[in-house]
Amino acid sequence: MSSISNPLLFIFLLHLLSIFFTTYSQSHPHPLDPLNPAEINLLRTIINDSYPNSTFHYVGLEEPPKSTILSWLKNSSHTNPNRQSFVIARINKTTHEITVDLTRRRIVSDRIYDGYGYPTLTFAEQTAANQLPFQHAPFLDSIRSRGLEIEETGCMGLGVGWFGEKKRSKRIVRVICYYLEGSVNFYLRPIEGITFTVDLDEMKITGFIDRQIVPVPKSDGTDYRESEQVPPFPSRLRGIAMLQPHRPNFEITGHNIRWANWDFHLSFDARAGPIISLASIYDTDKQRYRRVLYRGFVSEMFVPYMDLSEDWYYRAFLDAGEFGYGMCGVALVPNRDCPENAVFIDAYLAAENGMPVLMPNTFCVFEKYGGDIMWRHTETSFPGQPIREVRPEMTLVVRMVSTVGNYDYINDWEFKQSGSILIKVGLTGLLEVTGSKFTHKDQIKEEVYGTLLAQNTIGSYHDHFITYHLDLDVDGDANSFVKSKLQSTTVNHHNSPRKSYWTVISETAKTEADARIKLGLDEANLLVINPNKKTNMGNFIGYRLIPGSISNPLLSYDDYLQIRAAFTNYNVWVTPYNKSEKWAGGLYADQSRGDDTLASWSLRNRKIENKDIVVWYTMGFHHVPYQEDFPMMPTLTNGFELRPANFFDRNPMLKVKSPQHVKFTNCSC
């Protein structure tokens, strides 16, 4: 075949190929791909044909059964399974769970939910509720009586939780307000004492209380915009660049990403945000890919505040279930949120009316190198002939930022060539503060539930607990969970002058109750093993769960907040795989009562040994605010690691060569 010598013809052919593959991927999507705009439009049309006044609260992929996916993977030339979507809609003030078969273009399941709890709040109804106060005469009078301007006031709705009520309550939110006065820092200027109750189904105010007048915190020093900062400034650092003149080392095909020895699928969900699926690593000794993780994502986030006052006691959020962790995803800023070598990926979600909405730059994917070392050794035993071997470490990062109200959560999935996956969350943004009469700490003689950060401004004590759903398939889907304790042992014989040593005592969890772990009580290695496969040395193939810094709930188990969030009572749970058990806080988190959570499922105490199992891991932050967190909080990061444990027969990075060194000449920048 002759080569193409005309560059314009070559570019034209590449363009045609690009169109072909884009069209093909949309018409033949991977079974785990998120819904594309055409599919969202189709399901909206199908549902509206039956229910013209539907309000769409959740729209996502109804993923095929795991057995179907695994069968398809073995022979992807087979016909793709039918594409289906799962929709939670409000129709005539009733919650419907609707499954739409997009391939056959019809509704295949329509169930009315009449239990406790309500679906995720939509952006449209939150916006409408936040506007109601400005048509309410008593509110306008309250603002004027405080000497404030109504034009500088903004409001925001909050979930109300549950505090032991027996009867099923209406869909309501409590609306609180803030004062701008030329500032963009909405959250640091609360107007304390004013609270509305809004019925979302009726979209009307059903309650208004004005309890007290507390000074609104001053706006001085709260503006965080770079353009508004005034001297003096710290010394400006010279620039650092991450350049890849020969293009990145990863390939993105549709939603599949391949880099170094990793291959995985990335999708988007309105509730979970990023979902990593089918993560497999190539074993050079065995000459094949071996699966590590079938599906991993943020299942729920619990953020309780410690202020007991009337305007605060109910503030305990289940962010994924109430507001949508993915729905709150924001566009990433090139060269700021992500380095210059990043590639950006868009996402789509369904609006309240079911129309597809483009979310640009939702994900970024980039290779990271910051001078880290993969492995090294200097051998000095040979005089005059030192041996130095060093391998620099490059990793691949998938990032999304979710801004849930005042907080920005930076979500990273970082893949290492060694086989490790680092999962990290960084907290930044603005604190939730309460207005106060105090201007100096010496004035405070009572409990204020927080730290005085500035005049009339108290940063409230609170927690962040983030629970991950980790369906590990360690070289197969039949796995077991092993807790290996490090046990200190006294030496009682005279064969050694030593008095003590420690050894490893391993215990395989047989039921769900055996696997519940509250970390920090003792030293332990936590492993998911494949009991049906061994290394050449006879060790079970496995992966370790290595926690980061550990925080456990401090609320009492009978506190209504903790009843709803009982899935945080343990850092680690293990359950048998069940497709319907995805959301640790329950499918309906708004006003939930804790009757449909990971903690309640696990009471069945099912068998988990040599089964297809799911590990649930909760990382936590106890946040005591400090003045450095004001007015903008520097990022605080926590995370954990999934690390090979006898998965390979030896260090899989022994033969890895260092990346090519790139020389930049005549550069005076």
Catalytic machinery residues: 319, 407
In a 13 Å sphere around the CA of 14, the CA atoms on its Cβ side amount to 7
Give the pLDDT score at 20. 44
CA 423 vs CA 432, 467, 503, 546, 642: distances in Å: 26, 12, 29, 11, 8
> Please, which pLDDT band fits residue 21 given cuts at 50, 70 and 90?
very low
Query: Is 297 within 8 Å of 277 (Cβ atoms)?
Result: no
Give the pLDDT score at 279. 98
Give the pLDDT score at 664. 62
Q: How far apart are CA 590 and CA 592, in angstroms?
A: 5
76 pLDDT exceeds 90? no
Give the pLDDT score at 6. 53
End-to-end CA separation in angstroms for the chain: 46
* Residue 191: strand pairing partners: none
pLDDT tens digits along 332-352: 999 999 999 999 999 999 999
Q: Quick one: average pLDDT of 128-139?
A: 97
Dump strand ranges (E) for 405-445.
407-416, 421-429, 433-435
Q: Which letter, b or e, does each residue of 4-42 get, where b requires 16 or more Cβ atoms within 10 Å of its Cβ? A: eeeeeeeeeeeeeeeeeeeeebeeebbbbbbbbeebbeb
Give the pLDDT score at 45. 98
Structure token digits, residue 643: 């690390």
pLDDT tens digits along 85-117: 999 999 999 999 999 999 999 999 999 999 999
**pTM of the full structure:** 0.93
Q: How far apart are CA 666 and CA 669, in angstroms?
A: 9
Q: How far apart are CA 341 and CA 365, in angstroms?
A: 9
CA 84 vs CA 61, 66, 95: distances in Å: 6, 14, 19
583 pLDDT exceeds 50? yes
Q: Quick one: average pLDDT of 300-318?
A: 97
Q: How far apart are CA 177 and CA 582, in angstroms?
A: 34
Query: Is 72 within 8 Å of 65 (Cβ atoms)?
Result: no
Average pLDDT, the chain: 92
Residue whose entry in the numeric block shows the structure tokens 């020969």: 246
Q: How far apart are CA 579 and CA 589, in angstroms?
A: 18
524 pLDDT exceeds 90? no
499 pLDDT exceeds 80? yes
Residue 624 DSSP label: -
Q: How far apart are CA 476 and CA 531, in angstroms?
A: 10
Q: Quick one: average pLDDT of 472-487?
A: 95
* Residue 523 or residue 40, greater confidence: 40
17 pLDDT exceeds 50? no
Residue 370: Cβ within 10 Å count: 10
Task: Reduce the DSSP state of residue 554 to 3 states and report it.
Answer: coil
Give the pLDDT score at 500. 95
Give the pLDDT score at 215. 92
Q: How far apart are CA 367 and CA 341, in angstroms?
A: 7
Q: What is the CA angle 559-560-564, rounded to 5?
A: 115
pLDDT tens digits along 157-208: 999 999 999 988 899 999 999 999 878 888 999 999 999 999 999 999 999 9
Give the pLDDT score at 657. 84
Instruction: Tell me the percentage of the chain whose pLDDT exceeds 90.
Output: 82
Structure token digits, residue 578: 């069940």
> Please, which pLDDT band fits residue 27 given cuts at 50, 70 and 90?
low
Instruction: Tell me the percentage of the chain whose pLDDT exceeds 70.
Output: 94
Query: Is 538 within 8 Å of 594 (Cβ atoms)?
Result: no
CA 378 from centroid of its chain's CA atoms:
40
Give the pLDDT score at 2. 38
Provide CB contacts within 8 A for 656, sequence distance 6+. Answer: 374, 391, 417
pLDDT tens digits along 594-622: 999 999 999 999 999 999 999 999 999 99
DSSP readout, 8-74?
Answer: HHHHHHHHHHHHHHHHHHHHS--TTPPPPHHHHHHHHHHHHHH-TT-EEEEEEE-PPPHHHHHHHHH
Amino acid (1-letter code) at residue 669: C
Helix (H) or strand (E) holding 322: helix 319-323
Q: How far apart are CA 342 and CA 359, in angstroms?
A: 17
